[in-house]
Amino acid sequence: MLTSATITFRDRTYGYNPLQPLDISLPLAPGPENVNCFWAEPVQVDTITVGDFVGSVALGGSTNYQRVHLTPHGNGTHTECYGHISPDPTATLDRCLTRFLFVAQVISVSPRKLENGDFMVMAEDVIAHLDEGNLPEALILRTLPNLESKRTAHYSGTNPTYLEPALASYLVEHGIEHLLLDLPSVDREEDGGALLAHHAFWQYPENTRTQATITELIFVPDTVADGWYLLNLQVTSLVLDASPGKPVLYALSPVGSSLGGSVSFAEAPH
């Protein structure tokens, strides 16, 4: 059984336990008691019937066979690419996201209340937690207070917290390609279509960062400390600009330094 592994990132070696995953996604369950935003309909699951066949064991069928109706951007944790703001039909997540393991840093930050009553995550408050000499590939933002109600919040029409566009620009300037956050969007719920943080993060259309992704509506439990993690950014292979996502973390601890960019594994005795 694989109980320990190491990853070398920018000449620093970290250890982690593959058997201790930390799931920071929110489930996609049917019904209204789940997180929802941008006026999306709740997830719906329908039993398929064909002739005498009923796709429900509970109703006497031989197997469960169901159809799911969902809106990736509005229901649960989802990952999106620049196709979210582009008319290009080839700008789909399955083309943009071709790696799935990244070194990530979890940061907790309190949004500030603006004069107009909005709440915004400010660039300087996030940057204060970062070491420009040792930056991650992915940044994971947990907003405070970290309420359990985030798991089932209905955000539509509430003007939820969003990001200062300057933060997106900072991430671009420092090569951070993946941003994960526990908010419905990096931008204001209604901003007249400006989508300033989206455009800044993807540098679209002038210098598009085609490999960069944004993952929204995560939930980072309080049991997950701020710090460094190996991120497994799991998605469904939908040919769309966004997909339901299941980001999973593995806590990293420094074990020394070495050269290169290798990953090695240690197999425990059976």
pLDDT in tens, 152-179: 999 999 999 999 999 999 999 999 999 9
Of all helices (H) and strands (E), which one includes residue 166? helix 165-173
Q: Residue 235, exposed/middle/buried by CB under 10 A (0-12, 13-18, 19+)?
A: buried
Residue 227: the pLDDT is 97
Residue 3: the pLDDT is 76
| Inter-CA distances, 120 with 117, 183, 186, 198, Å | 10, 11, 10, 15
Q: Is the dihedral of CA 35, 37, 40, 41 positive or negative?
A: positive
Residue 1: the pLDDT is 67
Per the structure, the complete domain to which residue 105 belongs is given by 2-267
Q: Alpha-carbon distance 175 to 90, whole Å?
A: 24
Over the stretch 217-253, which tens digit does the pLDDT of each residue have? 999 999 999 999 999 999 999 999 999 999 999 999 9
Q: Alpha-carbon distance 254 to 144, whole Å?
A: 27
Contacts of 227 (CB under 8 A, 6+ apart): 105, 106, 251, 252
Residue 75: the pLDDT is 97
Q: What's the pTM value of the predicted model, to 2 decimals?
A: 0.93
Residue 208: the pLDDT is 98
Q: Alpha-carbon distance 162 to 121, whole Å?
A: 6
Number of domains comprising the chain? 1
Quote the mean pLDDT of the chain. Answer: 94
**What stretches in the chain show pLDDT beneath 70?**
1-2, 256-270
* % the chain with pLDDT above 90: 91
Of all helices (H) and strands (E), which one includes residue 232? strand 227-235
From first CA to last CA, the distance across the chain in angstroms is 6
CATH number of the domain within which 110 lies: 3.50.30.50
Q: Alpha-carbon distance 195 to 54, whole Å?
A: 45
SS3 at position 150:
helix
